[in-house]
Amino acid sequence: MPKKKQPADQPKRRPDNANVMGLRAEVLEQPITETLELNYMPYAMSVIVSRAIPEIDGFKPSHRKLLYTMYQMKLLGGPRTKSANVVGQTMKLNPHGDAAIYDTLVRLSRGYGALLHPFVDSKGNFGKVYSRDMAWAASRYTEVRLDPICAELFRDIDQDTVDFVDNYDGKLQEPTLLPTTFPNVLVSANQGIAVGMASNVCGFNLAEVCDTAMAYLKDPGCPLTETLKAPDFPTGGQLLMDEAALRQVYETGRGSVQLRAKWRYLKSENLIEVYEIPYSTTVEAIMDKVAELIKAGKVREITDMRDETDLNGLKLTIDLKRGTDPDKLMQRLFRSTPLQDAVSCNFNILIAGMPRVMGVREILEEWTAWRMECVRRRVYFDMKKKQEKLHLLKGLKKILLDIDRAIRIIRETEEDAEVVPNLMIGFGIDTAQAEFVADIRLRNINKEYILRRTAEVDTLEGEIADLQDTVNRPERIRAIIAGELKAVRDKYGVPRRTEILYEYDTAAAEPEAETPDYPVHLFLSREGYLKKITPQSLRMASEQKYKEGDGPFLQWEATNKDELLVFTDRHQCYKTRLGDFEDTKASALGDYLPTKLEMEPEEKALWACLPGDYSAHALFFFANGKAARVELSAYQTQTRRRKLTGAYSDKSPLVSAWLLREDREMAVISTEGRCVVFHTASLNPKTTRSTQGVAVMTLKPKYRVERALPLEDTSIVNAARYRARSLPIAGALLKEEDRGETQMSLL
């Protein structure tokens, strides 16, 4: 039998060696492009459309499903219920775990405080938006209900204002959008990360948004900044007004605004209280950064900082040293900590299922168009109901002409099913009208009742004509929306929480505290302990103390403003300033560089130098016989970077390093006992830090360079014997009289 050929469009099957329970497994090979198209792209679209990006009503699907569930549970105006009940009911619409649903509930709650106008009236511990570590209580302990403002979210939702779709199992209906009577998309802060895009919508004051929307309805070209002053945040703080940055956010939907904490100085207790912080940070992040500055010695005016947040609200207390200027200190903290932070804006919103980054005017345009359609549908729904009622009353009016005849038709009809057809024939009315007449109670078959009902016909006809005119005239719909916006503003509008600073000190432009300049002596031990000692202290006691097994390595004369470069065994260079080190005494051990410079675990310092004006060269000698001359300017940076990777070549271990301010003769000695003396002018300087250098000494396989040092620091008597005419060279064996005692080198 010929072997059956596999179709070309089928995935190839590759047999696997695995054999489990007697069954041979097979692996399907699928092209990566096909995997992306069939598996990844649907997931990416689902995250964008159904999870992370808000829509024009200002809600993500998870928010909408939760709030609609609470609305169906009669929690608008009713008593609170356990949060666990809400979470369980929401799972009928939201096919996710209870933890994810409860997290959504927490972030919408009044207790958590992430929204200017929370939608959930909560009772119990819901954590705080300004705290990273404050955990909220479990759903079985907390209670919730809808906040009164939610009436504006669900107004007329049962009057065909929005579309409804089946839930995931087709057993329930849920709204695709909520018919919010105000631009909630601009009022409620919202952020989310999708696949390949993100959204970060900051909140604005409700009253300002309503005023802006009303102004836009009158004139789409109105100046927005006159009514919409700036973003507003539930955590308060102060917004630094930058008209150019704000204009960019309003026009493009992208940009950022600067927020600053609010604080007060209590002179009697010599402390600062911070009681409002930027929306984008947390109490713990601020305290961690301040502690880091204190530990690094960059802030010396603070004796203690603690979190005294209680039921009255947030409070960070900073105890000050005597004589501290609180204004200058806060300016430095604003510059160096999240007490002043930038809030980025990215107004990415789903419009008809498509993500769009829009400015404020575009958002108002889309919201107005959508809201006008909602109102038009509501008016049309009301008109249709009145038309149906009018139709029934017109049938009743015909009965008024001969009530006795109607009674006789009903009484003389033998079968119940024939009553309606007989009335239709007798009075010339349709089925709906005949059903309405047939269902009138016996006590209502009197002239007064029928006259009173038929009198409504004229009223209904006038109302229907008015509603039809509203449906046909957009300006009347805009007037209805403006009236609703005014009502919302008057009922729910509150003053701004975030203060706008039009005049302020630019913390970023303030110069750093002046570092005092005075002469110092530096001593670096072999184990990496650095001492900075003033000449006065050194004169009083000059005998250096070291740990057992440690000893002197390098020493310099410098000034307190100088920089220090520290090279480590991980091929990294750490930059620091001597002003960051405390003055010490000869009897102290000094600062341990791996700890002080926050090196990686087990990382050790190999060499250090004072770069000065970065005009000198660094000379590196490696175990493989190569030497590299690198310009110090390669280690100079415009920013205050503290760590540079790739500080020197990693192809061979570093044996020795020297700071070369002028050319000199160097002696290189190998473990074989050979020595090469050469002039550094023969080495061309490189600007690449990780250069491998050039070969200076040729080595046999089992030998390596042991040390390298200036010729004048050696005991070599006959230097001409070891001088190299060209490089590389094997060198000459050291004679006994040239060995002597040498300086300790890097190992």
* E-only strand ranges, 106-261: 120-123, 143-146, 164-166, 173-175, 190-193, 198-201, 238-240, 254-260
Instruction: Phi first, then psi: give them for residue 660, nearest 5 degrees.
Output: -110, 100
Peptide bond into 54 cis (omega under 30): no
CB atoms within 10 A of CB 78: 11
Nearest-CA neighbor of 442 among 411, 476, 397, 483?
Answer: 411
Say how far residue 443 (Cα) sits from the centre of its chain. Answer: 70
Nearest-CA neighbor of 432 among 462, 387, 468, 463?
Answer: 387
CA end-to-end span of the chain, whole Å?
A: 75
Active site residue 722: no
CA distance linking residue 566 with residue 515, whole number of Å:
21
CB atoms within 10 A of CB 236: 22
Say how far residue 235 (Cα) sits from the centre of its chain. Answer: 16
Question: What count of residues does the chain have?
Answer: 747
Say how far residue 144 (Cα) sits from the centre of its chain. Answer: 28
CA distance linking residue 744 with residue 90, whole number of Å:
74
From the candidates 40, 43, 141, 504, give the one annotated as an active-site residue. Answer: 141
Nearest-CA neighbor of 233 among 117, 150, 136?
Answer: 117
Nearest-CA neighbor of 563 among 628, 632, 662?
Answer: 632
State the number of CA atoms in the 13 A half-sphere of 671 facing the CB. Answer: 14
Q: Calculate the dihedral angle through the C-alpha atoms of 136, 139, 145, 147, rounding to the nearest 10 degrees.
A: 20
Residue pair 317/305 in contact (Cβ under 8 Å)? The answer is yes
* E-only strand ranges, 591-704: 591-592, 605-609, 617-622, 626-631, 643-645, 654-660, 665-670, 674-679, 694-695
CA distance linking residue 363 with residue 370, whole number of Å:
11
Angle between helices 419-427 and 431-438 (to 10 degrees): 110
Q: Where are the alpha helices (DSSP H) in 311-401?
A: 326-336, 360-400
CB atoms within 10 A of CB 720: 7
Q: Where are the alpha helices (DSSP H) in 590-651?
A: 593-596
Nearest-CA neighbor of 656 among 711, 606, 729?
Answer: 606
Token couple for 540 = 């009083």
Token couple for 728 = 């590389």
Residue pair 299/282 in contact (Cβ under 8 Å)? The answer is no
State the number of CA atoms in the 13 A half-sphere of 571 facing the CB. Answer: 13
CA distance linking residue 437 with residue 367, whole number of Å:
45
Residue pair 52/349 in contact (Cβ under 8 Å)? The answer is no
Nearest-CA neighbor of 677 among 714, 632, 643, 649?
Answer: 714
Q: Where are the alpha helices (DSSP H) in 188-325?
A: 206-218, 243-252, 283-295
CA distance linking residue 570 with residue 401, whole number of Å:
106
Could you give the residue numbers annotated as active site? 141
